[in-house]
Structure 1
Amino acid sequence: MNGRYVALGSSMAAGPGIRPSADGAPFRAGRSVRNYPHLVAAALDLELVDVTYSGATTAHVLDERQNGVPPQIEALDGDERLVTVTIGGNDAGYVPLLTVAALPRFTRSLPLLGGRIRDLLDPTARDRALVLVADSLQRVGQAVRERSPRATVLFVDYLTLLPPAGSPAPPLAGVDAALGRRVADTLERLTGEAAAATGCRWVRAAEASRAHHAWSAQPWTTRPGLPLPGRPAPLHPNAAGMRAVADLVLDALR
């Protein structure tokens, strides 16, 4: 398989902290040469255009600049053989809610910061955000299809971060972990629905990684904590996770 491959998405595709970093990528993008787009491109001998960027939302894919970088969809020129999309979690506040849930409880009472934390951990606020994500994901699929009508377009959902219900996920409280699972499950479902509604395909990374959550014996993702140099970002894929997602994408293309 030869041709052009454009990878769109957020940090769950970029791979922040997985060494080495991609040459020429903006520092804040957090792009790794061992992320799943690079692994897929190498396996299929594709020309990779990786515009994944940590912190990206669906708006950054569609029509908003991010830290001076054009909307990701502008990387598409119609000659693509393959496009992958991993997006939506930042719209819903998924990793941010898990990040703040791991902070000491007193932080929820701090001026300014406490209000943001309480909003992220508010189930009603997360549900409102997810309602908007449903429409946004479909708009992403439609826009990619219009720009790249001959490409195979794959929505790749997020690797599982949390253990199943009833299992502890320290330092997260049970109620916060339950909210995280609800957001994750909804994102998974909405990604599949967007793929089906827009003529794209769905790579089910969440389903494949249930037994490889961050608290498992063989994790494909990392637990909450402080970002450390030379290590994958907290609550993000590790190198094994990126390899696993790449294999899922390759299987979908066979």
Structure 2
Amino acid sequence: MRRLLPVLLAALSITATTGTASAAPRYTEYVALGDSAAAGPLIPNQDVLHLGCLRSTRNWPSVLASTLGVAEFRDVTCSGAVADDFEGGQTTFLGAVPPQFDALTPTTDLVTLTIGGNDIGLVGAALGCVNLLPEPVGLSCEDRLTAGGTDQLAVKIDAFADEFGAVLDGVHARAPRADVVVVGYGTYIRPGGCYPVQPLWGRDSDYLQASIDRLNALFADQAAAHGARFVDIAPPSVGHDVCAPVSRRWFEGLVPTTVAAPLHPNQRGMAGIGAYIADSLPASAS
């Protein structure tokens, strides 16, 4: 037994060391960039030091940071942000905020970003699709936005490609060792919609979601071309759209059922998205 004791202690030491190594955080310095889809306007609790950005302390970047156990987390997501605000700064209803790129450093090893919805006017387009009465009373937003054979949203989305690629290059230049993760937009509404639960005609609902899917495809292409990873949250959010039962919704409709902004993720959605992104990342930092 005396001879076995040193062997057992050595084995326990090796096991403890291995366990500690495997539990080491994948990332140590995480920066979250983006717009309201990441910021979480109105979701309690709001960041009181940066109220102009309407940023929740329980948004999906916060969920992700907590899940990953990062030592340093800087969340500069800001509602209303467009791609230009990453480098040029943003003016909110409470004043100016610094460029989001300022949060990046050479030691940053994880960056997430969600941007583009405001650049192409997604929320405005969705609001323009509201019809309080069923067809044929009213005007289809799909008909209006594709009149003359030109899809106005598709044109804006396609034109955003180069600008989005430049954003990714800007991130790499400022955080050269970081894993850069592009997070898309979700499945906000199911095929055919759910009129009148959400006052969007079926074909207009399909048009809006197809436009979101087109933007997500752009993200995937540009991420591949600019050394970034794309996480598509559209598949896991199927069944959690604005038509789903309130207890299953990840996104609020035109009339919110929880404390969250219309047409944005709610707290349940933020938790689900954050967990899905965490599971989508590699087991160890690259």
Range of TM-score over shorter length: 0.7 to 0.9
Match of 1:204 in 2: 232
Match of 1:31 in 2: 55
Select 1:182's aligned residue among 205, 210, 215.
210
For structure 1, the residue ranges without an aligned partner over 5 or more in a row are 106-117
Secondary structure at the counterpart of residue 32 of structure 2 = strand
Contact preservation (8 Å) 1:8, 1:83: yes
Deviations 1:134-187 (A, max 9, x none): 2222111111111111111100111221112x3434301234323212211111
Q: Distance between the aligned counterparts of 2:168 and 2:254, measured in 1?
A: 31
Instruction: After TM superposition, list the pairs within 5 Å mapping 1:32-47 onto structure 2.
Output: 32-46=56-70, 47=72
Larger radius of gyration, structure 1 or 2?
2
Quick one: structure 1 residues 104 and 167, their matched pair in 2 at CA, closer, same or farther if it must change by over 3 Å? closer
Match of 1:135 in 2: 162
Contact preservation (8 Å) 1:73, 1:144: yes
Residue 75 of structure 1 pairs with residue 103 of structure 2: yes
Secondary structure at the counterpart of residue 207 of structure 1 = coil
Contact preservation (8 Å) 1:159, 1:241: no
Deviations 1:109-136 (A, max 9, x none): xxxxxxxxx89x6233212211222222
Contact preservation (8 Å) 2:31, 2:110: yes
Q: Percent identity?
A: 35
Match of 1:115 in 2: none
Deviations 1:55-92 (A, max 9, x none): 11111123343331122112112211210001111111
Query: How far did residue 233 of structure 1 move?
Result: 0.5
Q: Which piece of structure 1 moves more, 85-94 or 58-67?
A: 58-67
Match of 1:168 in 2: 194
Number of residues paired by the alignment?
239
TM-score by length of 1: 0.86
Deviations 1:226-253 (A, max 9, x none): x79x711111001111111111221122
Match of 1:220 in 2: 250
Secondary structure at the counterpart of residue 139 of structure 1 = helix
Select 2:171's aligned residue among 133, 140, 144.
144
Quick one: structure 1 residues 127 and 64, their matched pair in 2 at CA, closer, same or farther if it must change by over 3 Å? farther
Select 1:93's aligned residue among 101, 111, 121.
121
Q: Distance between the aligned counterparts of 2:180 and 2:91, measured in 1?
A: 23
Contact preservation (8 Å) 1:57, 1:88: yes
TM-score by length of 2: 0.77
Q: Distance between the aligned counterparts of 1:58 and 1:183, measured in 2?
A: 18
Which structure's relative contact order is higher, taking Cα pairs within 8 Å and 6+ residues apart? Answer: 1
Secondary structure at the counterpart of residue 211 of structure 1 = coil
Q: Distance between the aligned counterparts of 1:82 and 1:38, measured in 2?
A: 13
Residue 122 of structure 1 pairs with residue 145 of structure 2: yes
Amino acid in structure 1 at the alignment position of 2:65 = A
Contact preservation (8 Å) 2:193, 2:200: no
Query: How far did residue 103 of structure 1 move?
Result: 6.2
Q: Distance between the aligned counterparts of 1:174 and 1:251, measured in 2?
A: 33
RMSD: 2.3
